[in-house]
Each structure stands twice: as C-alpha cells, then as structure tokens.
Amino acid sequence: MKVLVIANSARSIVCSAKKAGYTVFTLDCFGDVDTCNCSDKSMVFKTGQENELQELAGTFGETDAVILGPGYEKLKFKNTLNNPPAVMEEVSDKSKLPKKFKSMDIPHPETESIDKARELGFPLMIKPKSGSGGMRNIIVKNEGELAIFKERNDAREFIAQEFIEGIPCSASVISSGEDAVVVALNEQLIGVPSLTGLPFAYCGNITPFHSKFNDEMIQYAKQIAIEFGLVGSNGVDFIQTEKGIVVIEVNPRFQGSIDTVEPAFEINIFDAHVKSFSGELPEVRESVCFAAKSIVYANKKTVISKTVSDTLIGCMEKRRAADVPQPGTVVLQDEPVSTMLESAGSRSAALDKVVKSSRSLRKML
C-alpha cells in the first residue's frame, strides 16, 4: 500500500508507517535525516500553499491513501485517511467545546471569550481558539495584564479559561467512528525549563501514565471519540487535579505521543490508524516498559553543525534520538531542535535517562 503524508513535521507518522511495511512518500517542512531515511521518496515544501502542495504531491504518482497532518486537513485529496472536515472543525474549536462537554457531563475548564474573560477571575489561561502544542498559550494574572492582551490585533483569535493546576496527561485513542479503544495513557511534559523557554510548549511524554483516575480518563476519552464520530488515531488531553480529571481539549489527528506509545506497548499506531477506517480496532495491551520523549528547543538562533547532526544520527541509530536535523539547518529561537528518546523499567529511570541525554544535546548546542 502506497501512502502520502503531508505535515509540517511528518517524521513520527512516516517512520511508524515504514515500520509497518507501507510504501511512504513524504511532504514536510524540515526533511530531517530520519524522515528521509523512512521515506521511499520525500520532498520539502517551501510555502505550504495548497497549489504548491498539490503540484508536489502529483510528482509521487498515484497513492492509495493520503494522511494530512495538523494545519493541512482542509486540503482536497482523494483517499484521505483523516477525520471528516466537519468533525475536525467541530472538535478543534475550543470556544465551542465547553457547551458540548457540559451536555456530556464531562469536566472541562470554565471558558469565555476574551471580552468576557474577567468574569472567570484570575489567573486565566489564554489560548488560541484552535491549534495545538501550547506554543501561544499564556497566563494572565490580573486586570492590567488582561487589558494589555486585549490591545493585541489578534486578541479575538483567543479564548480565556479558568487556570487548572495539576499533572498534564493524555489518552491515545484509536477510533472507528462507532467504537474506540484507548491504547495508552501518557504523562505530558509541558514547558519544562531545561527544554524550552516557552512556559506551555509541548516538550514530550512519558508512557504509560498511572494514577487512581485512569478509569475516568479511559471512560471520558472513549465517550468523546464515539460522541464526535472520530476515526483513526486521536488524542484527548487532560489535567489531573487532586480531585479528579478535567478534559482540556481533543486532538483529532496523530499526536506526538506516538514516540512513547509504540515502544511502551509494542503497537504500531500507523497500522492501527489505517485499519480503523475499515472498522478494525486493536486489542488493549499491557505495557512492556516505560518510554520517555523530550523535545529540545533552541534558546537562541542556532545553525546545526555536522558534529551535532552526526552525533544525533548515532543516537538515532540506537533509537535514542529522532527529528535529526540536516547539517546547516537554521533553527530559530524557541523552535524545536531535536527529540531525545529513552526507555527503562520504571518511570523515574526513563525520565532520568532522557533528561541526561537532553542535557548533553544542550551542551553541544
């Protein structure tokens, strides 16, 4: 089966597809070493405009399926294996989810438009109405900071939510539109100071995640997937508080947690994604290890040297690094440089190993 993946960063999807035995063509922004290695043919796009992507996609010839990554779901291709556009739009609009979740009796932060934000009290979480990754999320602590934010030209593109403290976590779900299986629960690493200067940027995962609220997470994730008719690989983000689980948002697409879910549960997420469109869902599995992933962001504009790239390639060959940039790649401040991967028999051991390898990369940079 020939598949074409179009995404800003396609590496995790492409390499999962290759491991499952698919013929893989890739269009993405970076052309990282491992993306090229996993692709039967790959190309880097420049503008990301639809006419450019359609033209480049045509050079691969006929494909059996097209997988569209975040930001590209509205492209018009036949044989797309994505959630339907109407479902994608409904689930991705964070301004409309609160009302829906309330009708489903699912805990969710109180949410208002920016104009009504002060009614929620302070502090507030300000985030875009759509999109993921936490890159643009900010905390507003008082009336003065809110007034300053409202002066921004793009202020109306954001929503305000009550700030929920706790452990960020997620459920990885494979859905068929009528049924769903939670294949993993994951701890999320968000805004880790040693990895990024952005306070709410997604920095990785540790899988599996164990807590006394696991049953609630599984119940809510399945309920959401079935209610919205989600298909394929999807994610539900939570905050675990002292009192229980709060659903934060839904990601109706492949998630970054694929890098830890696959080794921890010995499952191929891409293959499960494809099969779900025919109604086939995977069985629930027990984890075989703890897997940890960390994304190292640049703290200043950085040009990747051959030494750094070669060192990361060595780690990649041992399955301890991913998203390996080509020599000469320019990485701007607060953009991701590379991903470090580790596994161990316990959460603490896996985390210690990935922290150590991330620190080594930081020193090299």
167-364 has the same fold as 110-162: no
Residue 141 burial (C-beta neighbours within 10 Å; 0-12, 13-18, 19+): exposed
Instruction: State mean pLDDT over 105-134.
Output: 87
Cis amide leading into 70 (omega within 30): no
pLDDT band at 131 (very low <50, low <70, confident <90, very high): low
| Helices 11-19 and 269-276: angle between axes, nearest 10 degrees | 80
Q: What confidence score (pLDDT) does residue 156 get? A: 87
Break the chain into its structural domains and give their ranges: 2-81, 110-162, 167-364
Q: How far is CA 307 from CA 301, 317, 320, 328, in A?
A: 17, 15, 17, 11
CB 102 within 8 A of CB 246: no
pLDDT band at 48 (very low <50, low <70, confident <90, very high): confident
**Could you tell me the fold of the domain covering 110-162?**
Dna Ligase; domain 1 (3.30.1490)
- Per-residue pLDDT of 58-101, as tens digits, reads 999 999 999 998 778 888 898 999 999 899 989 988 888 989 99
Give the architecture-level CATH label for domain 2-81: 3-Layer(aba) Sandwich (3.40)
Q: Measuring CA to CA, which residue among 350, 126, 101, 123 is closest to residue 250?
A: 101
Q: What confidence score (pLDDT) does residue 132 get? A: 61
2 forms bridges with which residues in the sheet? 23
pLDDT band at 29 (very low <50, low <70, confident <90, very high): very high
CATH 3.30.420.130, domain 167-364, yes or no: no
d(CA 155, CA 351): 37
d(CA 7, CA 26): 8
